[in-house]
Structure 1
Amino acid sequence: MSVLTAFAEAMRSGAVEVVDLTTPLQESTPILELPPPFANTSRFRLEELSRYDDRGPAWYWNDIHTGEHTGTHLDAPNHWVTGREGPDVSQVPMSTLVAPVAVIDMTAEVERDPDFLLEVAHLEAWQAEHGPLPDGGWLLYRTGWESRGGTQEEFVNADEAGPHTPGVSAECARWIAQESPLTGFGVETVGTDAGAAGGFDPPFSCHHYLMGANRWGLTSLRNLGRLPATGAVLVVSPLPIVGGSGSPARVLALVERS
């Protein structure tokens, strides 16, 4: 039996499960909101063109209005000034779109502190337990934040001091980008940076270091609790927007079940 035939049989039998990690796109899908004077992305919106009526008697279809960075989406290196000469979202390598994935779970820590930051020491402890991070793979950061995805207010979790969402420290972001073997980093929150990252050195360190090292980001992921710490395969399907800085994406994980 060939490898692909065996894989298809494993899918059919349930030995391999497909887990959808994507936030559905609708007008209520939380988005990143920047303060003035910065420009903001669009919320997702459907514009009906016809629905079995005089505009088109036998068909229903819509225009869609959305930003590149709305909902579950892929950040390309050219999204940030440090990666401005890097690839756009249409140039993502196939080996990045389908790659092994590791999951680090810090939900207990984030429940105690919504501003919790992942540190290099946490990743070293994870590797001591689970082995090295996957070469050319993804690290997904589970925080439990998906439970807040019902409303914009809960997801952004802002007060007069700004948003309070978990992320990574500046040094951890640098380590992931420059010292780890990873191709990308994914989160459950609205962006890869912590809510307080505007005050880090450098500001928005995850974007600064990852994009500058031609790494890729994923945001607004769900169902990370259904993935093992190691052994799954990530499948990322962005639109190949020529010149684009990112794209909404369907993100799946292939998980082997015993």
Structure 2
Amino acid sequence: MNTASPLADIGLWSLLQRLRGQRWVDLTHTFSATTPHHPSFRPAELRKTVDHEDLIDGQRAGFMTHEYRFAGQWGTHVDPPVHYHAGLRYQDEIPVAEMLLPLVVLDISARAATDPDSCVTLSDVAAWEARCGRIPEGAFVALRSDWSKRWPDQARMLNADREGISHFPGWSLPVLKLLFEERAICACGHETTDTDPGIASSRGDYGLERYVLGRNCWQIEMLANLDQVPEAGALIVATWPKAEKGSGFPARVFAICPEA
């Protein structure tokens, strides 16, 4: 007699077993009080409020708690649409169905190594599609620059010159318009502190970030380890706390990659 649970018949448990046999890559930086951050944010405060050996009413506490104070856009984090556009989605309004997506990686790391002001181009997208096929609808597209290798050095992440102008790679409007309007991707992400290249964000120009979020789409900033995932064929899982009317929060992001 078959005594297996009917729930097993839908195949999700066996799917999980297959996924566990693949390669999992953490795309999230560990954050702390000294994490690199946008210059407009105050330093974070992270403190232990109770330790295991502390006494509470004369008795050993036996547990540990921490208190965290930081800007929502801290470390590897999500930017929901409302971050730049009143009336669009808050972070708690993004459905969990959008948190598991096909992962596309556009790699400009070789150019960025010699030219920190490099931006992704339509030619980069065309070359990717020539190798891998059309970018799938509903994908998450990540811009790999290897800038995350500068973590956790704030000065190297911002890479400012003597005039205070930052020099780090970024997206470009033609590429973003192609991805969101023609390929209908769901979200995007990058390793730097901003969607816009440093020379733009240093003068207060966040037009590219405004464009992405204005599509009522979301993004992840300050991703890690994109050099460890393939340019095509992986899945990305991006999730974050469900803060009511939240405008951004540290995220936990990872990729599930085909085993080579």
Q: In structure 1, which of residues 187, 190, 209 is the aligned counterpart of residue 190 of structure 2?
A: 187
1:27 matched to 2:33: yes
**TM-score calculated relative to the size of structure 1:** 0.89
Q: Answer yes or no: is the 8 Å Cα contact 1:25–1:44 preserved in 2.
A: no
What is the CA distance between 1:101 and its match in structure 2?
A: 0.8
Asked whether the 8 Å contact 1:133–1:181 carries over to 2, the reply is: no
CA RMSD of aligned residues (A): 1.9
Please state if 1:175 is matched with 2:178. yes
Distance (whole Å) between structure 1 residues aligned to residue 46 and residue 202 of structure 2:
36
Once the two structures are superposed, the pairs formed by residues 97-246 of structure 1 within 5 Å of their partners are 97-159=99-161, 160-198=163-201, 203-246=205-248
Deviations 1:93-138 (A, max 9, x none): 2222111111111110100100001122221221122111121110
Q: Deviation at 1:199?
A: 7.7
Q: 2:5 matched to which residue of 1?
A: none
Displacement, 1:193? 1.8
Contact 1:96 1:183 in 2 (8 A): yes
Matched, 1:74 2:81: no
Q: Within the alignment, does 1:44 sit opposite 2:44 as a pair? A: yes
After superposition, give the CA deviation of every residue in 1:30-77 in whole Å (9 maximum; x if it has no partner): 0011xxxxxx33433322211121246211111111111000001101
Once residues 104 and 115 of structure 2 are traced to their aligned partners in structure 1, the CA distance between those partners, rounded to angstroms, is 23
Following the alignment from structure 2 to structure 1, what is the Cα–Cα distance between the partners of residues 66 and 168? Answer: 34
In the aligned structure 2, how far is the partner of 1:44 from the partner of 1:248? Answer: 12
- Between 173-182 and 184-193, report the one with greater CA deviation: 173-182
Aligned to 1:36: none
Conserved? CA contact 2:19–2:256, under 8 Å: no
Q: 2:13 pairs with 2, 5, 8, which one?
A: 5
Runs of 4+ in 1 over 4 A off after TM superposition: none
Higher strand content, 1 or 2: 1
Question: Structure 2 regions of 5+ residues with no counterpart?
Answer: 1-8
Which residue of 1 is the match for residue 65 of structure 2? 61
Shift of residue 170, structure 1, vs aligned partner: 2.9
Structure 2 CA distance, aligned partners of 1:61 and 1:123? 46
- SS, match of residue 62 in structure 2: strand
Percent identity of paired positions between Structure 1 and Structure 2: 28
Structure ID, larger Rg: 2
Q: Is 1:250 matched with 2:252?
A: yes
Partner of 2:198, secondary structure, is coil
> Residue 89 of structure 1: CA displacement?
0.5
The Cα offsets for residues 124-168 of structure 1, whole Å up to 9 and x where unpaired, read as 221122111121110011101011112100111112151101002
Aligned mates of 1:124, 1:250 — CA distance in 2: 30
Q: Is the 8 A contact 1:43 1:70 kept in 2?
A: no
